């Protein structure tokens, strides 16, 4: 009988902990809704005790999500569990996820607890969490470097206390697939009552084994995989959701298992997350990279043209990757755009459609053909909150052998402000003006990147900047056929995010 493998997505918690991958509340909510649409079983919305902002984000997601479970992470202490429950108590299907380390190195150097005290804390934390919530997950942090006999004691304790899910993390990405398989089998053979709970695996990618290790856990009997979109996460990241799901689907006969994921939403989900954190997929990224379904070798091309299965084990359309057809133009109406976006897997409100329609009209005045990539960029680069500053006008003067100058006019909550500055190039001059107009709230431009969204010399240019203000680091994005305009819009977007987070 086929097993249902539950997908526990921690993009909004573990994924966001990756350096330079922070998100604001509206961005987290947008990703959560996309995960729900994709069919994720459980969404780990965050670590509520970590900050007021984290608590507010988890609470907002918990109230909005109806078709997926919403989990909150907490340490095995009362105040953490209180915060976790208070943040998710309005969820349609809440889960408290509590954890405590069980490896000798963690118990001695981090927790400074004896094994007996660790078992006592596990019992207390799970029982206390169960007093709030019927669904409690317990994770034994650094489980794979724990002594297996003590790990059995830890899980016995958690199950007796009422845990409904036990998670076996490879916290530092240390293990190999055969070791994961043996450890999960050992637990099934030795933990009392394990047949009555869901066994989960959570693998990190430090040795590039996260997906392979997760799949080994599934083969050994695990019924839940903890993963992130695009494999985001601490250090080298986590197991990638899209790779886990497509491996289980493509090798279904081997695993005799399935997930509830709508694979046609995978490509959209990947692009949304990359866009929000200001990154793009490596071209050779499995499943969602630009080269995942590209063939240059003549032998490969001939084979694919003769029969796709000769060199492709998946269909691009099953992932929501659509053929780049030039069907939208200056005279296209709302219905045509709506139909195109639906075929590409996008969901939208009437107000969002009206906004996309206006942007398509504006773009069609600047370039002849609107591609699917252009439409995706328009959707993914939408404003996710109303910022204080908005670009009204800019004028740049630059030549090869002289200092550049820039005039920028901004609206600030109804008022219009204008400034001029010089710089070592048009972008530097523009950013100097913006800094002057916004009170130098941005202390440092950490990173600036640019890439074309589609082909041709009239392609949309997407600019991503990373800005720092004290301990706040944000990502700003801009999109235009005019790369200077894209750069200015990205910087203003970042400034507005800094103001929102202060």
Report the distance separating Cα 456 and Cα 416, nearest Å: 36
Residues 182-227: tens digit of each pLDDT = 999 999 999 999 999 999 999 999 999 999 999 999 999 999 999 9
Classify domain 3-276 by CATH number: 3.20.20.70
Query: What is the pTM (predicted TM-score) of this model?
Result: 0.84
The sign of the torsion formed by the CA atoms of 197, 198, 199, 200 equals: negative
The answer to whether the 3-276 and 389-501 domains have the same CATH topology is: no
Q: What is the pLDDT of residue 326?
A: 40
Residues 188-200: tens digit of each pLDDT = 999 999 999 999 9
Residue 370: C-alpha distances to residues 19, 96, 181, 337, 456 (Å): 34, 46, 49, 11, 11
Residue holding tokens 């699917």? Answer: 372
- Computed over every residue of the chain, the mean pLDDT equals 90
| Residue 32 in tokens | 């959560």
Residue 21: C-alpha distances to residues 222, 272, 489 (Å): 29, 13, 20
> Which of the four pLDDT bands, split at 50, 70 and 90, describes residue 7?
very high
Question: Which residue has better confidence, 365 or 186?
Answer: 186
Question: Which residue has better confidence, 324 or 40?
Answer: 40
Report the distance separating Cα 343 and Cα 345, nearest Å: 5
What are the domain boundaries of the chain?
3-276, 289-320, 322-380, 389-501
The CATH architecture that domain 389-501 belongs to is 2-Layer Sandwich (3.30)
Lowest mean pLDDT among 54-58, 85-89, 321-325: 321-325
Residues 102-118: tens digit of each pLDDT = 999 999 999 999 999 99
74 backbone φψ class: left, alpha, beta (φ>0; ψ -120 to 50): beta
């Amino acid at each position: 009988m086929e097993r249902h493998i539950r997908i526990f997505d921690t993009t909004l918690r573990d994924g966001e902990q990756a350096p330079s991958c922070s998100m604001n509340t509206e961005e987290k909510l947008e990703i959560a809704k996309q995960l729900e649409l994709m069919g994720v079983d459980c969404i780990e919305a965050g670590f509520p005790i970590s900050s007021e902002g984290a608590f507010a984000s988890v609470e907002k997601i918990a109230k909005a999500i109806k078709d997926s479970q919403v989990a909150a992470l907490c340490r095995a202490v009362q105040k953490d569990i209180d915060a976790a429950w208070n943040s998710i108590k309005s969820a349609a299907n809440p889960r408290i996820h509590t954890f405590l380390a069980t490896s000798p190195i963690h118990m001695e150097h981090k927790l400074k607890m004896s094994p007996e005290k660790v078992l006592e804390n596990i019992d207390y934390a799970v029982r206390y969490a169960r007093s709030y919530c019927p669904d409690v997950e317990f994770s034994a942090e650094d489980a794979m470097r724990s002594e297996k006999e003590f790990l059995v004691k830890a899980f016995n304790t958690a199950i007796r206390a009422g845990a409904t899910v036990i998670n076996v993390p490879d916290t530092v990405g240390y293990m190999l697939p055969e070791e994961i398989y043996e450890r999960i089998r050992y637990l099934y053979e030795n933990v009392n009552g394990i047949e009555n709970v869901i066994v989960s695996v959570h693998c990190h990618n430090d040795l590039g084994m996260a997906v392979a290790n997760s799949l080994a856990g599934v083969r050994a009997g695990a019924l839940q995989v903890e993963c992130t979109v695009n494999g985001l996460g601490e250090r080298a990241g986590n197991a990638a959701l899209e790779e886990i799901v497509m491996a289980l689907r493509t090798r279904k006969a081997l695993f005799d298992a399935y997930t509830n994921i709508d694979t046609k939403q995978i490509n959209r989900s990947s692009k949304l997350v990359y866009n929000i954190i200001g990154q793009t997929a490596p071209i050779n990224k499995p499943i969602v990279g630009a080269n995942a379904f590209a063939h240059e070798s003549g032998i490969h091309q001939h084979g694919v043209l003769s029969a796709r299965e000769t060199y492709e084990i998946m269909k691009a359309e099953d992932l929501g990757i659509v053929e780049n057809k030039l069907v939208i133009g200056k005279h296209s109406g709302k219905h045509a755009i709506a139909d195109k976006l639906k075929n590409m897997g996008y969901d939208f409100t009437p107000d969002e459609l009206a906004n996309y329609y206006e942007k398509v009209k504006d773009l069609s005045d600047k370039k002849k053909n609107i591609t699917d990539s252009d439409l995706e960029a328009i959707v993914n680069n939408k404003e996710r909150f109303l910022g204080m500053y908005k670009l009204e006008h800019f004028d740049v003067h630059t030549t090869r052998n002289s200092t550049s100058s820039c005039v920028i006019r901004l609206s600030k909550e109804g008022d219009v402000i204008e400034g001029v500055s010089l710089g070592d190039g048009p972008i530097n001059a523009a950013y100097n003006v913006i800094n002057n107009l916004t009170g130098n709230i941005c202390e440092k431009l950490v990173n600036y990147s640019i890439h074309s969204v589609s082909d041709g010399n009239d392609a949309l240019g997407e600019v991503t900047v990373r800005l720092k203000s004290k301990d706040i680091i944000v990502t700003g994005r801009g999109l235009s056929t005019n790369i200077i305009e894209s750069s200015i819009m990205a910087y203003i977007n970042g400034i507005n995010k800094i103001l929102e987070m202060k």
